[in-house]
Amino acid sequence: MSGIVEDPEEKYKLITKGLQEVLNGQIIKKILTEEKRHVKIYLGTAPTGRPHCGYFVPMLKLAHFLKAGCEVTVLLADLHAFLDNMKAPLEVVNYRAKYYEFVEKAMLKSLGVPIEKLKFVVGSSYQLTPEYTLDLFKLANIVTQNDAKRAGADVVKQVSNPLLSGLIYPLMQVLDEHYLDVDVQFGGVDQRKIFVLAEENIEALGYKKRAHLMNPMVPGLGQGGKMSSSDPNSKIDILETPKQVKKKINSAFCAPGNVEENGLLSFVQYVVGPIYELQHGEGQFEFFIDRPEKYGGPISFSSFEELKAAYKEEKLSPVDLKSGVADTINKLLAPIIAEYQASPEFQEADTKGYPAPGKDSKKKAKKEKKRGTKYPGKKDETEDDVAKKLEDTKIED
């Protein structure tokens, strides 16, 4: 990654590059042009399910922020993970937070991003202080139940009988902007309702309003829906083996000529292309497919539009697209997997954060079916009938 961009206008373009939406962009512009200081941005990640390849998208944006001279904080939101419908007990969440930090640092290093300029903060290090707790109560006295529920609808796991924790989650995210002392909060577009909640309520506590930056969500491998940790068939985990990657890519929805509902093309658009550009320079793109000679030999595309058009016109088959995406993903994951294999601490965070489901040593006793006494061909039994049967089946000494 090349040096820091100095021009304020170019900094703003880089900070907002590839985003789906920007709220209060004028706050960022004022800092760059009038206050003439570095913009402070944070990304919050709740360590719930295993990180997947969709995480390359926010990691790419962190690279853009750093190149624009921003001060970047990554929040490992352990208490948020705990509050997300109790997906895991706190002691397990602590290991997941460590695992997320290892993964994100490994991803950034694989992209050539200097991680020494990043700050990682664990949420519980400040979210349990008296000051934070009092502010949480103050915010709870302002925000309605309906507003809190609506804010977390796209982020907190939705269940038929929701817990109170799902209402606390978005309130804490509002406060994090102040307590992390940032100018901007960055996340996926699924965070939008929480960002709006912050913009509408943070000033009531006497704190300044922040800008909000939103990434597009990377589509999953199925037909429709985002790449999600909770749906194993929609995603490629960061530590998937090459064999597992090829198997998942081969089973991905990829209809011939369909470019609208194609998670593989979207992955090239949002992950592969931007990574190539980050590593080779502005406007650069290459997507290589090592196609067998009997099917036309290797083929390369110099723009995403060219790749998309070839697929739409069915000049490129689903088999070839899948092969190219699988090979590219395996190249992206190779240095991360190598770092994992070389680090006992990384491995411990994985095994203790995501313990394999244990098998009960004792088989569960089969429950006796209560058939009742009135099934076809069965007469009602009296107490005398039952006693006689017991007597007849008694084993002689």
For every residue of 39-51, DSSP letters joined together read PEEEEEE---SPP
Mean pLDDT of the residues in the chain: 87
Q: Tell me 229's DSSP state.
A: T
According to the model, what pLDDT value does residue 101 have? 95
320 vs 323: CA distance, rounded Å: 5
Question: Residue 396 pLDDT more than 50?
Answer: no
According to the model, what pLDDT value does residue 106 have? 95
Among left, alpha and beta (phi > 0; psi -120 to 50; other), residue 372 is: left
Q: What is the mean pLDDT of residues 21-47?
A: 96
Q: Which two tokens stand for residue 305?
A: 């539009």
359-387 per-position pLDDT tens digit = 443 444 455 555 554 444 444 555 555 45
**Cβ neighbours of 337 (radius 10 Å):** 17
> Which of the two residues, 232 and 79, has the higher pLDDT score?
79
In the chain, CATH 3.40.50.620 sits at: 8-215
- Nearest-CA neighbor of 349 among 100, 82, 52? 100
Are 40 and 210 in contact, with CB atoms under 8 Å apart? no
**Cβ neighbours of 67 (radius 10 Å):** 21
Tell the burial category of 262 from Cβ atoms under 10 Å away from its Cβ (0-12, 13-18, 19+): buried
212 vs 2: CA distance, rounded Å: 26
β-strand pairing of 71-76 with 40-45: parallel
DSSP states along 262-325: -HHHHHIIIIIHHHHHHHH-TT---EEE---GGGT--EEESSHHHHHHHHHTTSS-HHHHHHHH
319 vs 395: CA distance, rounded Å: 69
According to the model, what pLDDT value does residue 360 have? 43
According to the model, what pLDDT value does residue 231 have? 65
According to the model, what pLDDT value does residue 205 have? 97
* Count of alpha carbons within 13 angstroms of residue 220, beta-carbon side: 16
204-246 per-position pLDDT tens digit = 999 999 999 999 988 877 666 666 665 666 789 999 999 999 9
- Domain 232-352 belongs to what topology? Tyrosyl-Transfer RNA Synthetase (1.10.240)
In the chain, CATH 1.10.240.10 sits at: 232-352
Q: What is the mean pLDDT of residues 158-166?
A: 79
User: Residue 3 — pLDDT band, cuts 50, 70, 90?
Assistant: confident
Residues 6+ apart with CB under 8 A from 277: 283, 284, 285
Q: Which two tokens stand for residue 113?
A: 């991003």
Q: Identify the weakest region by mean pLDDT among 5-14, 83-92, 108-117, 286-295.
A: 83-92
Chain-centre distance of CA 199, in angstroms?
23
According to the model, what pLDDT value does residue 163 have? 83
Residues 6+ apart with CB under 8 A from 168: 83, 136, 140
Are 149 and 166 in contact, with CB atoms under 8 Å apart? yes
Are 224 and 261 in contact, with CB atoms under 8 Å apart? yes
The share of the chain scoring above pLDDT 90, in percent, equals: 70
Helix or strand or coil: residue 184?
strand
248-278 per-position pLDDT tens digit = 999 988 999 999 889 999 999 999 999 999 9
Are 85 and 92 in contact, with CB atoms under 8 Å apart? no
- Domain 8-215 belongs to what topology? Rossmann fold (3.40.50)
Q: What is the mean pLDDT of residues 307-331?
A: 96
pTM for this structure?
Answer: 0.84
According to the model, what pLDDT value does residue 370 have? 52
According to the model, what pLDDT value does residue 375 have? 45
Q: Which residue has the tokens 């996340």?
A: 187
Are 221 and 263 in contact, with CB atoms under 8 Å apart? yes
According to the model, what pLDDT value does residue 394 have? 47
Q: What is the mean pLDDT of residues 77-90?
A: 82
According to the model, what pLDDT value does residue 290 have? 94
According to the model, what pLDDT value does residue 193 have? 95
Are 134 and 206 in contact, with CB atoms under 8 Å apart? no
Helix or strand or coil: residue 9?
helix
